Amino acid sequence: MKHNIRITSLLLSILGMAIMAGCVRQLSSPSETEQQKPFVPATLAPTLPPPTETPKPVIPVTEATPTSCVDSLSFVADVTIPDGTVVSPGSTMDKRWEVKNTGTCNWNEKYTLRFISGDQMGAEPEQALYPALSGSQAVIRIVFTAPSEPGTYRSAWQAYNPAGQPFGDPFYIEIIVEAPTP
């Protein structure tokens, strides 16, 4: 019986040592986050600049250069004030046109609209063109003031790129100023 107790005691000691050895191994093993990192051979690792070097800023390209894109604008529809609308002398008109950027350039704040012929009807001769991505539609808006004299008036406008070159379909407003009633 004494022999069985010694064997049991020895087996329990060995079992205890094995359990403790497993705990020590668990404590010395790499953490979970270290285990999840994939091995990257030194030849495939990205080369980083020395830490003393100031990184250069990345400047996103937001517009195409005139040599790499084409400017174009297509008239789609009159949104407000159809041609031939009769208006009162001196009235304010909020004219809007729907157009499409049919070119490959994106219109940004450097693109403008310019008065090209007719009567300005109180509008500034150069205005910002509504920004629009290539292939998208936009609404262009100009506020006019009807002349005080009766008659038919037309104001024509065209888009200009940053280089000052006109492009696309010209568009216009054409109104009839009614004679004042006596």
**E strand or H helix that includes residue 26:** helix 2-28
Cα–Cα distance, 175 to 1 (Å, whole number): 121
The pLDDT confidence band at residue 46, using thresholds 50, 70 and 90, is: very low
Give phi and psi for 156, each to the nearest 5: -105, 145
**E strand or H helix that includes residue 139:** strand 137-145
Q: What percent of the chain has pLDDT over 70?
A: 63
Please state the rounded mean pLDDT for residues 22-38: 49
pLDDT at 4 over 70: no
What pLDDT digit, counting tens, does each position of 96-122 carry? 999 999 999 999 999 999 999 999 999
Distant-in-sequence, close-in-space partners of 106: CB < 8 Å, separation ≥ 6: 62, 63, 64, 131, 132, 133, 134
**Token pair recorded at residue 13:** 């000691």
- Mean pLDDT for all residues in the chain: 79
Position 68 scores a pLDDT of 87
What pLDDT digit, counting tens, does each position of 33-44 carry? 445 545 444 444
What type of residue is 144?
Answer: F
What pLDDT digit, counting tens, does each position of 53-80 carry? 444 444 344 444 446 899 999 999 999 9
